Amino acid sequence: MKKALEDLIVLDLGQIYNGPYCSLMLAFQGAKVIKVEPLNGENLRVRRKGDCHELLMLNSNKLGISLDLKSPEGKAVFLELVKKADVLVENFSLGAMDRLGLGYDVLNKINPQLIYATGKGYGLDGPYADRPAMDLTIQAMGGVMATTGFADKPPVKAGPALCDFLGGIHLFGGITTALYQREKTGKGQLVEVSMHDAIYPTLASALGAYYSQGGKVSQRTGNQHSGMATAPYNVYPTEDGYIAILCVADRQWQSLLRVMKKEELLEDERFQTNIDRSANTYLVDEIVTSWTSGKKKMDIADMLIKANVPHAPVQSIDEVAEDPHLKQRGMIREIVHPKEGKIKVPGSPIRLSDSVLEDVIPAPMIGQHTDQVLQELLGFNEEKLNHLRDNNIIRSIETMKQ
């Protein structure tokens, strides 16, 4: 079965999380993604000794080449690749590609069909454009921290690198949109995503509360609803951890009351509708807490599954890493890496019925496919490869030859 993006060639200059996640999604849909790294590898290679697990998670199903883009000869090789490519992905800091002489204007002239995708912290323009930006700074600037944590504690970041990943997946969506448009126009274009832009809509609940209160800033709500517009909606203590419980429909609240054996509250006017309950959030939370405390979280979960009340145990990282649901769905996959042995890497959250993801292939080592790619795509012979290698323009993998 042919995959959605088969026959497309992607030059992936991505580093750390943002760009690499974008191109991972392209690879999973069948594109031939060529990860282009400097001779010492991308920045994520060196986070810990050896290839860190994060890199292995986000670079499956890619070919890896290693090339010095700062040398004139390396640049010339890269420009030959650009002529063959459909898509380029990069998430360097602002202006880095221009300084290399590889900006959109240059590459678009060489290959007008190229879709040039740029993932940035603050985007290509605007007053903050040239500030250094990483997940942490965007969480601070973008309102994630302001809305995360408890009112009596400092603002706190979200644990996941959500700015990087939101940026990366928006970039993927922009690329596929541009690929569709290219089918109509025959032309490539510039696709731009700013992580800072991508965060703004996700604050819908907090912004909704802000505007509905005429511009009053609410305190951080901990695990309560960011707009304080749903109750119960919280994380409740149990004997062995925590459990999240919420009721978005009145029937769920009635069902919860029955499970808690609090039928006497069914007619209580303080709790009839969600608006009533939200006005009495702290009382609602007290009632639920008095029931969850002293019970085991999985016992509570079993009761709530039967009662059809939305809930979930708060899972720890080791529970997530071994989650039976994620495994059964192929979202957590065990593969064998030639150096690292058995590792667990993600499958694809985007499932197309006609482009099923069957095999996940380990991330390339630095320069693993340099020779192969330059031979196949550009027809370089052994002599040319030796010349480039001997002059430190390219790096081919040594470990594979052992």
Q: Which of 378, 367, 370, 372 is nearest to 80 (CA)?
A: 378
Instruction: Count residues binding a copy of itself (CB under 8 A).
Output: 149
Cα of first residue to Cα of last residue in the chain, in angstroms, is 36
Instruction: Candidates 73, 79, 222, 361: give the one binding a copy of itself (CB under 8 A).
Output: 222
CA–CA separation, 256 and 29 (whole Å): 42
Decide: is 172 part of the binding site for a copy of itself (CB under 8 A). Answer: yes
The amino acid at residue 154 is P
CA–CA separation, 397 and 374 (whole Å): 13
Choose between 79 and 136: whose C-beta lies nearer to a copy of itself.
136
CA–CA separation, 66 and 118 (whole Å): 20
Residue 48: alpha-carbon gap to chain centroid: 21
Instruction: Candidates 45, 75, 346, 361: give the one binding a copy of itself (CB under 8 A).
Output: 346
CA–CA separation, 89 and 208 (whole Å): 34
Decide: is 261 part of the binding site for a copy of itself (CB under 8 A). Answer: no
Decide: is 9 part of the binding site for a copy of itself (CB under 8 A). Answer: no
Site for a copy of itself in 309-328 (CB under 8 A): 309-321, 323-326, 328
Site for a copy of itself in 78-117 (CB under 8 A): none
CA–CA separation, 50 and 28 (whole Å): 25
Site for a copy of itself in 271-290 (CB under 8 A): none
Choose between 39 and 190: whose C-beta lies nearer to a copy of itself.
190
CA–CA separation, 132 and 94 (whole Å): 8
| 31 Ramachandran zone, left/alpha/beta (phi>0; psi -120 to 50) | beta
Which one of 73-81, 280-288, 352-360, 388-396 is the stretch in contact with a copy of itself (CB under 8 A)? Answer: 352-360
Decide: is 72 part of the binding site for a copy of itself (CB under 8 A). Answer: no
CA–CA separation, 238 and 300 (whole Å): 9
CA–CA separation, 314 and 231 (whole Å): 18
Decide: is 128 part of the binding site for a copy of itself (CB under 8 A). Answer: yes
Which one of 34-42, 72-80, 179-187, 372-380 is the stretch in contact with a copy of itself (CB under 8 A)? Answer: 179-187
Site for a copy of itself in 378-397 (CB under 8 A): none
Residues with a known catalytic role: 225
Choose between 237 and 389: whose C-beta lies nearer to a copy of itself.
237
CB 109, min distance to a copy of itself, A: 14
Decide: is 126 part of the binding site for a copy of itself (CB under 8 A). Answer: yes
Decide: is 254 part of the binding site for a copy of itself (CB under 8 A). Answer: no
The phi and psi torsions of 340 (rounded to 5 degrees) equal: -90, -10
